[in-house]
Chain A
């Protein structure tokens, strides 16, 4: 637990120092996305990595958070902070209700059901034109404000997003190291044994699904208020898959892994721009290699690699 604290402090220092070095550059705006994606990846990891339940519809919860908060504040003049909170609570409640039938399913069936859920949301974003603006998007979303201080512009957005991201990291770490976190891992390893130990597996799965949707919705609202504009393409099936990839690349069941996964998968497309249309090929290759050679993700894979290399070096010397 203390090592986690050290990591957290190091991360916090990096997060604070980064803008000093990168201020005004294009990378700053990319880092805003890294933060949003990290929140989403951590939220999904609670469900996928800890409890072992897949969701291919998380982009939908992200989208709900973005649209509902945006519409409430832009169309109905609700205070953006209040809109964000109302939205997140509603999305969590929705996930809780939908979760009961859906999380009864396992494996491929659960994947299909959550996939369907995400697609339904996507269709609503596209078709409810009066409310969402349809395929052309929804604009004029006001920024979050504290008094007369508005969070607009890269540096302020960065501060806002990363404050939330670090909060998510801290709270998720706490949760992971608690009786709830252990019960989630227990469900992952042996559902029947978890039940015999008195864990209400069905309820806990639904609760964590709702929590995951809550965090995703907050990330969505932050996205909407910092960008000022949202459109359906950001919340489609592709993005749900990208989120799963972030979690897997970073490492299932590790909070910091999700952070790293989110950073890599957000920065990678930027770096691969030179390859233009071929970037998707390299992206796919990375995925294949990861699952083949580092199924535990980078967070476990890299130390394991060092552990394997170091003793051999000692033998040679």
Chain B
């Protein structure tokens, strides 16, 4: 369970987030929606440790993780993907996923340089595990390709595979359907459900309403940096304030 408690973020005179509180349940698929400039990406950047909030706390399973850098959050099982995909473009697809297993291995510079036996065992385990996650995301056949040469949709899947390799308790996806065609979006919905089925909570910022209403258990609606509403997809669709502020726009 991830508790977001009274998060406020000011950039100079601008208040990007104003006292936003929300609880993300274990094993839930949670959607964060809102018009452009509502503060969704800011909220994501705070939760994932890239920004430091002006005030407010984030509590993961009873542990205060506010203000921890991303590399520490990774060890607590919090991981994210990026709207514009941040792959390691010069590495192979398989090696990208192997980096996701960084926290699952511990050989240091000396052990790696001298090929210590335990390091070789570890490398085999990393390789096997990385292949499993590629398979989970359905991109096994791309293992030896350069990540930089992948088409956008496959790159998105690779980014998710790499994040899953951390075996997170919660994964944050920043607009995972952006740039995908309708068929890829359907596959994505299926993948998101399978991720949840393996016990990982999923949080997505998304503009694709069809996808959000289809997969999410709960939805948080932000508008102008404030929480406008929260509830099940049905409640959100019937909420007049949401309809006025957001759905009515389209």
Contacts and interface: CB of A to CB of B under 8 A. Distances in A.
B182 interface: no
A196 interface: yes
B95 interface: yes
Interface stretch (B4-12, B106-114, B206-214): B106-114
B249 interface: no
Contacts of A185: 88, 90-91, 95
A174 B99 contact: no
B103 interface: yes
Contacts of A32: none
A174 B123 CA distance: 12
B113 A171 contact: yes
A208 B112 CA distance: 13
Contacts of A240: none
Majority DSSP secondary structure for residues of A touching B: helix
A194 interface: yes
Contact of A195 (B70, B112, B123): B70
Interface stretch (A17-25, A79-87, A197-205, A280-288): A197-205
Interface residues of B, number: 38
A198 B112 contact: no
A199 B99 contact: yes
Nearest to A193: B86
A179 B107 contact: yes
Nearest to A194: B99
Contacts of A183: 99, 102
A211 B109 CA distance: 9
A207 interface: yes
A198 B113 contact: no
B98 interface: yes
A208 B108 CA distance: 11
Nearest to A253: B90
Interface string B61-102: 000000001110011000110100011111100010011111
B115 A174 contact: yes
B71 A189 contact: no
B107 A180 contact: yes
Contacts, number: 100
Contacts of B91: 182, 185-186, 189
A198 B71 contact: yes
Given A175-B113, A180-B108, A181-B112, A196 B88 contact: no
A172 B99 CA distance: 19
A179 B126 contact: yes
Given A195-B71, A196-B70, A178 B88 contact: no
Given A179-B107, A192-B86, A196-B74, A186 B99 contact: yes
Contacts of A172: 113
Contact of B112 (A178, A188, A190): A178
A230 B222 CA distance: 68
A199 B102 contact: yes
B102 to A, nearest CB: 5
Contact of B90 (A174, A189, A193, A211): A189
Given A179-B107, A195-B70, A189 B112 contact: no
Contacts of A181: 112
Nearest to B88: A189
A196 B165 CA distance: 12
Contacts of B108: 180
A185 B147 CA distance: 13
Contacts of B163: 196-197
B166 interface: yes
A198 B114 contact: no
Contacts of A207: 109
Contacts of B166: 197-198
B193 interface: no
Interface string B153-186: 0000000001100100000000000000000000
A235 B82 CA distance: 44
Contacts of B95: 182, 185
B99 A195 contact: no
Nearest to B76: A198
B128 to A, nearest CB: 14
Contacts of A175: 109, 112-113
A175 B112 CA distance: 5
Interface in B124-174: 126, 162-163, 166
Interface string A207-220: 11001000000000
The 8 A-B residue pairs whose C-beta atoms are closest, nearest first, are A198-B74, A178-B112, A198-B103, A193-B86, A189-B88, A171-B113, A195-B70, A190-B86
30 contacts: A175-B112, A178-B113, A178-B119, A179-B101, A179-B122, A179-B126, A180-B108, A182-B91, A182-B102, A183-B99, A185-B91, A186-B99, A189-B91, A190-B87, A190-B88, A193-B87, A195-B70, A196-B48, A197-B99, A197-B100, A197-B162, A197-B163, A197-B166, A198-B70, A198-B103, A199-B99, A200-B71, A207-B109, A208-B109, A211-B109
